[in-house]
Structure 1
């Protein structure tokens, strides 16, 4: 049940977001692989959000929030908590507008993501790797800075911005049977639901999640939000729980959620590197891992897969001992 004052973004919000962010994002290409098609028995089309300048789809929602601020609030800057990609993308958008950005990041976040935040001028405060620690540390940072809180996913501006990815996908490639994307807090899946429920309601929306951080899967089966505080998985971008807004979209529009083991995620990551010849994160390999694990469910279908990011710490790849 949603609170009466909990604003849910609309399709019109997504359209306005796309116009607002066009100068600040890349219309990313779609890639395919004959090998992966043969391996899965499906036609897979990968939307390459790892090619965004900050390396992740989250530049869409972050840019929508930053460039939608009025001048008075913009002077105080923005603030958030994030395991990495939202922090990087919000720092990037803030840099482009010339305003401050303060982010709280787990001390265990990949160094590559911390380096990206710093490169774009973001100020980092570290916390322990749990949802509780993130939120408590963030409350102190925001109180000290006065920055506008841009939540990584439970923010209508962010969800509307993420929805622009599926808008581009459908414009670039029609005739899809399914759209598959990773799920953590649910920002990308919510944006996908927002857009496709209006633009292409016939497309089934499938979410993919690590077995070791499967709170969205358990929430979906139970019919209410189940939140884990500190799950552990190599898919570091999928560690956070659903919130009210994202649960609204998941519970109303997602067809199913599938999970993959750590080993299956690593294998899919390596396959992507080898056959798509792209650097993608473990979090972004989860959709391919679940497609490979459930071939009968996906065989013979035209499937859109959103590659959500490519910010990888090359010194700590999951298959290196």
Structure 2
């Protein structure tokens, strides 16, 4: 670890020293700059506060430890301090901020909208889009309904009422409804209220037979079972399922089309875009397209200190901390554009010399 820090520190020093040398050079292509930035970071003297959901506590703690270990003397001392108030330098949230006035906003992680259920007889549930919408719209009211049974052959579901949780996170509801609407099964008659105040605790004790729409991070945090969307069978008669797991969510995240502007980076999902096959796999998982970004808001005055810290946590080795959390990592295309965007004003990464 110490050797790694010394190597990275040397690279950081090289980056800072290179500023004067590269001032008159032609601009480096953004993708090349981002690739080089993966191996470097910039330390700016000072402390940055960050506010985030409780589900991100582990990655935030890792970043809090990693920043001062990286920014060692003779580099400027840069630190990160978690706070519980929205009045922070950096805000991590899937919900637009009310107190933070961001000068830049970029995606940091991927969140999903899950249909969770509590049935003692099964931990798996497959639903076609139309059946899922019929349940959430209150049209299917019992678990023994023939439409559910047909899609879950081999599972004996109880002749008990389906209980709909009356509250859903606004972003999660919108993301799921957007996907189902594209599939011709909108949640037009749903009695579920969209709320900005939905909390993890609202779903901690689901009743037998209860169904809810929750952020995927809530489902993982609470250990809830999530339904899969069923799209028939493939040529080998195997079911085609979009699972609300790392594979399905990450696959859909590669269908995001990121776009940079003066205020940051936004994403839109192109359902016709072929998902990228992960390294080491032959095929991509069926995309679970009910996803939305967890954003990093850089609040208040635009400073190099805030940008340097944002740059640090968007680098791939920092993003790896998300793998141990309840969120999914960004696709490379989205993360690269976010990285280039927050680096504005920081020393230009310099390509290593070649012999």
Q: TM-score range, shorter-chain basis? A: under 0.3
Structure exhibiting the larger radius of gyration computed from Cα positions:
2
Higher strand share goes to which structure?
Answer: 2
The higher relative CO (CA closer than 8 Å, separation ≥ 6) is in 2
Higher helix share goes to which structure?
Answer: 1
Please report the TM-score for the alignment, with normalisation by the length of structure 1.
0.26
